[in-house]
Amino acid sequence: MIILKDLKMSKQYPIYNVISSCAYKQSNKSYGIREHGELNCYVGTSKQRSYKFFNTKTTHREIKPNLHEYRFYLDGELVKTAKYDYILNEVEIETIKYNKFGKETKFAKK
């Protein structure tokens, strides 16, 4: 588990990604995003034999002063949201699960 407060960032970003991969031998790589970031993952054995596996998108917007909303999408479906209150320093995270009848949500406060 990585705690953002322990990361040394050169600038403040609303979204911060830390990449752990066997491609990075010495340490993990990380980068910040201001408004949105998208990742397309492909699987296969070569450039000619690669197939789209999934897509993720993370967005950020300030709903009103000091209240920020984050959304995480998997293959275009909203799967998680978070609302962060800067003044109270509290975050409310909602996990959205889909079943055969539609959406079902779970809330967690941290």
Q: Tell whether 18 is covered by a domain.
A: no
The answer to whether 12 and 4 have CB atoms below 8 angstroms apart is no
Q: Tell whether 71 is covered by a domain.
A: yes
* Domain assignment of residue 102, given as a range: 38-109
The model's pTM is 0.77
Residue 13 vs residues 1, 10, 23, 25, 90: alpha-carbon distances, Å: 19, 9, 25, 25, 17
Total domain count for the chain?
A: 1
pLDDT tens digits along 13-43:
888 888 888 888 777 888 899 999 999 999 9
Q: Tell whether 55 is covered by a domain.
A: yes
Of the pLDDT bands very low, low, confident and very high (cuts 50, 70, 90), residue 2 is very low
Rounded distance, CA 85 to CA 92, Å?
9
The answer to whether 60 and 77 have CB atoms below 8 angstroms apart is no
Q: Tell whether 1 is covered by a domain.
A: no
pLDDT of 3 higher than 50: no
pLDDT tens digits along 39-74:
999 999 998 999 999 999 999 999 999 999 999 999
Q: Tell whether 11 is covered by a domain.
A: no
Residue whose tokens read 């949201």: 81
